[in-house]
Structure 1
Amino acid sequence: MVFILGIVLFALGICLSVALHEAGHMWAAKAFGMKVRRYFVGFGPTVFSFRRGETEYGLKWIPLGGFCDIAGMTALDEVTPDESKRAMWRFKTWKRTVVMSAGSAMHFILGFVILYLMAVTMGLPNPEAANAPTEPVISATACARSATTLEQLNDTTCPAGAPTPAKTAGIQSGDKIVSVAGKPTPTWTDVLAAVQVAGGPTPFVVERGGQRVNLTVDVPRVQRLLSDKTTVKEVGMIGASPVPKTLVATYGPVDAVGATLDFTGTMFAETGKRLIEFPSRIPAVVDSIFGGERDPNTPVSVVGASRIGGEAAERGLWEIFVLLLASLNFFIGVFNLLPLLPLDGGHIAVVWYERVRDWIRKLRGKAAGGPVDYTKLSAVTMVLVFIGGAVTLLTVTADIVNPVKLFQ
């Protein structure tokens, strides 16, 4: 039930994003005096509509998109005599650019707001901490015991009579292990490497309260299942665990602004990386449709993203749910600005082509040229629409027959 609720909530989040995208176009157009004929959320048959002023607002049955009908978006659009002076193509280049980029701007604003709310509530991920080595600071001490199966490895209870080497030697929570058997241990990985080859009384140096303390730990040898989950090996063990890295940090209302800006920059960088990798990952999507293992880094459709959101909600991982929604907004916003028709970025490219062309004509003593004839671009536009439709069909199919599963 929670899984279904998560899917529904994520889908509603996407619908809100689309509604705000089109609202961004509408608000910017109205602010500059352009005529907005219609603003609808969804496609297909109309559920309801109403008119306020000169604009008709409404909702359609298929909530997978929306549209904002601005009079004269291109010179090919038919306009009535009373609309002619307010046709979008008649306005200055910078105003048309603002209107056409306002949709992506709304995605960026929504993504920022989502991240800000995360920062002051559940916290933001800390990428630097995730990539940094774990410091050799002791969180707690326990027993040293053999564990030759996954069940034993996951069992944290200590059997009766099991030795507690670290605790017995006097190691305390908060101690930082400086060296083991004379070997410096700047990271917890270094501690493990030194301890696993040790056996019997072994000199330790720990830092406690700014002072260095010399201790001797009687390191027992135990049988442990290694990280490959198949090999069992005899290793030294002291029965201690490090302080976990702070992978998530929460902030106050003021500090959260700077933290959100920093993390937004990280997400923009990741979005750019994903866009560059996008074409090269399509073959893997095709392979997954025919039985190949689905790479979690392959592109997903709205169907796949909603499913992942449902899985995160089912496991109570709402921070992943919210972060995925924010990242999706950044991706859509950046993708929509690519200079390809029929995306907004394609229309912006045409507008600036006209501006540069007219500037060059002016330098040559010629009059400004007319608006670009979109009929000459129709072939290219149809090819891009076909490619986009094919990619969408592939990702939706893959998300149905072989979906990405972040949680095994």
Structure 2
Amino acid sequence: MEVLAFVIGVVLLVVGLAVSIALHELGHLWPAKKFGVRVGQYMIGFGPTLWSRRRGETEYGVKAIPLGGYISMAGMYPPSPRERERAAAASSSGAAARSGRAGGGFFATMVQDARSANDETVHGDDDQRVFYKLPVYQRIIVMLGGPVMNLLFAIVLFAILLTGIGVQTATTTVSELSECVPASGASECAPSDPAAPAAAAGVLAGDTILSVDGQEVADFAEASAIIQESPGEQLTLVVERDGAQQTLTVTAARRETTVTAADGSTTTAEIGFLGISPTSEYVRQPIWAGPQAAFENVGAVAAIIWQLPVKVADTAVTLVTGGERDPNGPLSIVGAGRLSGEVAATDAPILNRVAGFVSLLASLNIALFVFNLIPLLPLDGGHIAVALWDGLKRAWAKLFRLPPPKPVDATKLVPVTFIVVIALFAMGAILILADIFNPVSLL
């Protein structure tokens, strides 16, 4: 059963990832069509096509590997210069053409291939249904649409998690009572240990603590803080039992505990102890808790992305040395799938497992949002950066009454894009190997 639950968890993450990708690409598709851009394909996944159907001018489909997706928009870049087209058409000899391209080097060939593939989507200079002819703000909207959909999906998931399910909180209802005051560091009672104050004072499992020493308490953390600050002191507990309030008097026992400071040093402190264990329940949060948690996660993920090369290098070191990985460090899809499987297979109530999966999927969508905003091609942030540069050039020309500049030819950045893709592939490979051989585990 545990293995089956693990597999179900992995499958659920794959399905959740596919939904996230579908929404991301829909975020690009809808504004692109709204602004009149011709979209040839809307595909979820990569590799062989499992299913597709054409509606109007767009082919919608699902591919075998659900680790990405794309839409193909006409004229992502301006067409090649006519002089280059004439030169290519004039090359009647295939050998001569190959020689000319080889003479330009590997990256020059890549640039020309990118231009040729782009030109096939443009129907002449008068074609108005191309991406590069959109106003700058519309191009930005189209490219922002994908990441924003992931952010909105994450907000919905966090709202389900925090407002729909709630946060597991230690409440003021007593779950069980300790029989004794165990010695420092001990978890079980010894014959010489004194009786626990709460049980001796008549506190019962099921009682709900309303106030401690005259201070009303909303959760167990508040009650515990008052008790721990009162070693050896007499406290008044007001509890609700069977619908009626009762007042009990109890003297907090003295117990030594180890306190760890921020610099890692430890000291011994004396705290109050009653011997009460709380009941944990899911407490629903206000409706704004979901968006707040989403934006807090954006900041946390952005901090990781900013240091991604360093963190991946640290992960590579732990992969070689077998050292402990940073639990808050980057993960590959393999690591995320493994965590999802562990969440599903853990020995916990079903609601706890659902909450764990929703939290993981929400965090994954935050990662997709932040990662895609990196201003490097082929990521969405790279296309936004190109559109902003194009808008800046046009604004400069208009300000100084210069001739309108030519559209920015992003195909010139193909070599940089190639290097970025190789770097992302290398980092992904390191994370996948680490998630296989030195994984981050919940257990």
TM bin, normalised by shorter chain, reads 0.7 to 0.9
Q: CA offset at residue 106 of structure 1? A: 1.3
Q: CA offset at residue 14 of structure 1? A: 0.6
Question: Does structure 1 conserve the Cα–Cα contact (< 8 Å) formed by 2:227 and 2:274?
Answer: no
Aligned equivalent of 1:320: 356
Q: CA offset at residue 373 of structure 1? A: 2.1
Q: CA offset at residue 267 of structure 1? A: 2.2
CA distance in 1, matches of 2:222, 2:9: 43
CA distance in 2, matches of 1:168, 1:5: 48
Structure 1 pair 69/154, CA: closer, same or farther in 2 (3 Å)?
farther
Q: CA offset at residue 148 of structure 1? A: 7.1
3-state DSSP of counterpart to 1:58: strand
CA distance in 2, matches of 1:308, 1:149: 35
Structure 1 pair 218/375, CA: closer, same or farther in 2 (3 Å)?
closer
- The equivalent position to 1:350 in structure 2, one of 383, 386, 389, is 386
Aligned equivalent of 1:94: 137
Structure 1 pair 138/10, CA: closer, same or farther in 2 (3 Å)?
closer
CA distance in 2, matches of 1:332, 1:215: 55
What residue identity is the alignment partner of 2:356? I
What residue identity is the alignment partner of 2:198? A
Q: CA offset at residue 365 of structure 1? A: 1.8
- The equivalent position to 1:111 in structure 2, one of 122, 140, 154, is 154
Aligned residue pairs total 372
Q: Which runs of 5+ in 1 are unaligned?
A: 180-184
3-state DSSP of counterpart to 1:47: strand
1:287-311 Cα offsets, whole Å, 9 max, x none, are 1211222221221001101110110
Aligned equivalent of 2:200: 168
Within 5 A, what are the aligned runs for 1:210-249?
Answer: 215=249, 217=251, 219=253, 239-241=274-276, 243=278, 249=283
CA distance in 1, matches of 2:356, 2:173: 29
Q: CA offset at residue 340 of structure 1? A: 1.2
Within 5 A, what are the aligned runs for 1:51-200?
Answer: 51-75=54-78, 76=115, 77-78=118-119, 79-81=121-123, 84-124=127-167, 139=174, 142-145=177-180, 153=187, 163-169=195-201, 173=207, 174=209, 176-178=211-213, 188=224, 191-192=227-228, 195=231, 198=232
Q: CA offset at residue 346 of structure 1? A: 0.7
- The equivalent position to 2:16 in structure 1, one of 2, 13, 16, is 13
Structure 1 pair 369/166, CA: closer, same or farther in 2 (3 Å)?
same
Aligned equivalent of 2:44: 41
Aligned equivalent of 2:332: 301
- The equivalent position to 2:430 in structure 1, one of 389, 394, 399, is 394
1:196-241 Cα offsets, whole Å, 9 max, x none, are xx5xxxx4032648x9x8946495x89x99799xxxx9x9985422
What residue identity is the alignment partner of 2:308? F
1:10-65 Cα offsets, whole Å, 9 max, x none, are 11111111122112211111111110011111111222322111111222222211
What residue identity is the alignment partner of 1:340? L
CA distance in 2, matches of 1:186, 1:110: 34
Aligned equivalent of 1:403: 439
Q: CA offset at residue 384 of structure 1? A: 1.6
Q: CA offset at residue 169 of structure 1? A: 3.8
Aligned equivalent of 1:275: 305
Q: CA offset at residue 191 of structure 1? A: 3.4
TM-score w.r.t. length of structure 1: 0.79
Q: CA offset at residue 194 of structure 1? A: 5.0
3-state DSSP of counterpart to 2:396: helix
TM-score w.r.t. length of structure 2: 0.73
Q: CA offset at residue 374 of structure 1? A: 2.3
Q: CA offset at residue 323 of structure 1? A: 0.6
Structure 1 pair 284/148, CA: closer, same or farther in 2 (3 Å)?
farther
Question: Does structure 2 conserve the Cα–Cα contact (< 8 Å) formed by 1:38 and 1:57?
Answer: yes
3-state DSSP of counterpart to 2:165: coil
Structure 1 pair 272/140, CA: closer, same or farther in 2 (3 Å)?
same
Aligned equivalent of 1:292: 323
Question: Does structure 1 conserve the Cα–Cα contact (< 8 Å) formed by 2:230 and 2:272?
Answer: no
Q: CA offset at residue 171 of structure 1? A: 6.1
What residue identity is the alignment partner of 1:309? S
Q: Does 1:24 align with 2:27?
A: yes
Aligned equivalent of 1:182: none
Structure 1 pair 94/240, CA: closer, same or farther in 2 (3 Å)?
same
Q: CA offset at residue 186 of structure 1? A: 8.0
Question: Does structure 1 conserve the Cα–Cα contact (< 8 Å) formed by 2:252 and 2:272?
Answer: no
Within 5 A, what are the aligned runs for 1:353-372?
Answer: 353-372=389-408
Aligned equivalent of 2:293: 263
3-state DSSP of counterpart to 2:26: helix
Structure 1 pair 72/170, CA: closer, same or farther in 2 (3 Å)?
same
Q: Which runs of 5+ in 2 are unaligned?
A: 79-114, 215-220, 240-244, 261-267
1:337-358 Cα offsets, whole Å, 9 max, x none, are 1211111111111111111111
What residue identity is the alignment partner of 2:68? G
